[in-house]
Amino acid sequence: MSEVNSALWAGRFSEAIADIAHRFSSSIALDGKLWREDIRGSIAHARMLGKTGIIAIEESDQIIAGLEAIAQDIETGAFVFDASMEDVHLAIEKRLTQQIGSVGGKLHTGRSRNDQVALDERLYLKRAIPELTGKVSEVMNSLLAVAEKHIETILPGYTHLQRAQPVLLSHHLLAYVEMFGRDSERLNDCLRRVDRSPLGAAAFAGTSYPISREMTSIELEFASVLANSIDAVSDRDYLIELVSACSIIMMHLSRMAEELVIWSTKEFGYVTMSDAVTTGSSIMPQKKNPDMAELIRGKVGRVYGSLINLLTTMKALPLAYNRDMQEDKQPMFDAIETTGGSLEMMAFLLRETTFHSARMLSEVQNDLLTATEIADYLTRKGVPFREAHGITGSIVAYAVDHNLPLISIPLDVLQSYSLQFKEDIYGYLNPMTSVREKTTVGSTNPDMVRKAIARWNVKLGRMK
């Protein structure tokens, strides 16, 4: 047992907590990170206690000065959290009383660690979410920079990872820009629900002190006050929402990472990543490995894990606060840091990647990707689409048998399948014609892609 029972609730207890129980339950190693938010919340609470006359103004001033000094001491390293402390809230409150004496004990009037921890988390997220959104924009900027450089670069588009139709590289990359655009929306949407103050819910029932929840909410720049005191301390849905938004971001990043990995293989040869973002092998001198892309792909599991962690922790918990909820810190910090780090890495990786347009084009030209164009050509000449599809299938079989790209099949051979074929068919088999022929909204047509880039440049405030 600890020798002295110095817990802030020692009054009701005759014995101190067992060392093993203390070690098991201490969260200071993780929630110590929330000290800025904890002190900011406490200062707002103390000021409100003074203004409402619950404590004297001088007492409130003394507490605020004490808290500011603690912030300074943490900043400079003069006050360091250690394992003997239970959590960040108790560590700071105890330090306050040690520094300014018993008046420090008035800070916790009308407040509980239950509303305090929910407040700290929400304040932390109000800072972390815009940072994440900024990093999402960085990836979008990198994508747009490549797209602008490669507006007319054509590559094989795939479905089932089988070559399907020619598309513009810019169009392919803009598909990711759209995805990250929605990720940004999701983060901002989540922020609206984070931006509500739980402070003043106290343990869960509210308090009989005439506190002003409005006052603290305004000082802490919340958009509003959470309406129900039980809800305010009981739920972590805002966190689950954020980590699901992070999971979706990671899922998008993993798809891009996967494409960069396969595109960097000799088999594809579409991209080369610079030495700054690749590693060698300790045994095979020729190797250049796309580790950064692989790690982005690999870190997805951690973020999904955090989401399942939080969902499982919260499942079937009775109202109101339960200590289980302390376990939310690790997945919260880890998901935010892993997602932020992966976004930063992806933005950098794209800048360090060269896209080989000549190789992409030759892969499109020397293959069968414009088969759909042949079917459409016949259809325009009155052949029913199903029949045209059948004729084209036979032509493709011929091309495969003779190991020829479609563009190299002689006209008389084409005409042996249908007399509708004329010399102009070769124009349609040109991949650039194929992409230009796509005229529907949102298609791979270069003019359409230019408009999409312009729209995103305006949206992201990119300098041109």
Q: Which residues bind ligand ARG (CB under 6 A)?
A: 27, 31, 87, 113-114, 117, 321, 323, 325-326
CB of 160 to ligand ARG, least distance (A): 47
* Dihedral angle, C-alpha 51, 56, 60, 63, nearest 10 °: -160
Q: Which is nearer to ligand ARG, 30 or 349 (CB)?
A: 30
Here the tokens at position 12 are 């009701």
Peptide bond connecting 320 to the previous residue in cis, omega within 30 degrees of 0:
yes
Instruction: Determine the Cα–Cα distance for residues 249 and 340; give it in Å rounded to an integer.
Output: 10
Q: Which is nearer to ligand ARG, 322 or 354 (CB)?
A: 322
Q: Which is nearer to ligand ARG, 12 or 323 (CB)?
A: 323
CB of 127 to ligand ARG, least distance (A): 18
Q: Which is nearer to ligand ARG, 116 or 370 (CB)?
A: 116
CB of 120 to ligand ARG, least distance (A): 9
Instruction: Determine the Cα–Cα distance for residues 436 and 422; give it in Å rounded to an integer.
Output: 20
Q: Which is nearer to ligand ARG, 114 or 141 (CB)?
A: 114
CB of 32 to ligand ARG, least distance (A): 11
Measured over the CA atoms of residue 292, residue 297, residue 302 and residue 303, the dihedral's sign is positive
Mapping DSSP to helix (H, G, I), strand (E, B) and coil, where does residue 404 land? coil
CB of 112 to ligand ARG, least distance (A): 7
The answer to whether 45 and 216 are in contact (CB under 8 A) is yes
CB of 224 to ligand ARG, least distance (A): 23
Among 85, 81, 94, which Cα is nearest to 26's?
A: 85
The size of the chain, in residues, is 464
Instruction: Determine the Cα–Cα distance for residues 353 and 264; give it in Å rounded to an integer.
Output: 9
Among 247, 254, 234, which Cα is nearest to 309's?
A: 247
Mapping DSSP to helix (H, G, I), strand (E, B) and coil, where does residue 274 land? coil
236: which DSSP letter?
-
Listing DSSP states for 7-44 in one string gives -TTGGG-SSPPPHHHHHHH--HHHHGGGHHHHHHHHHH
The residues with which 355 forms a beta bridge, in sequence order, are: 271
The residues with which 156 forms a beta bridge, in sequence order, are: 166
How buried is residue 359: exposed, middle or buried, by Cβ count under 10 Å (0-12/13-18/19+)? middle
Instruction: Determine the Cα–Cα distance for residues 110 and 45; give it in Å rounded to an integer.
Output: 9
Active site residues: 160, 281
Report how many helices (DSSP H) and strands (DSSP E) the chain contains, helices first. Answer: 19, 6
Q: Which is nearer to ligand ARG, 34 or 429 (CB)?
A: 34
Q: Which is nearer to ligand ARG, 27 or 165 (CB)?
A: 27
CB of 77 to ligand ARG, least distance (A): 23
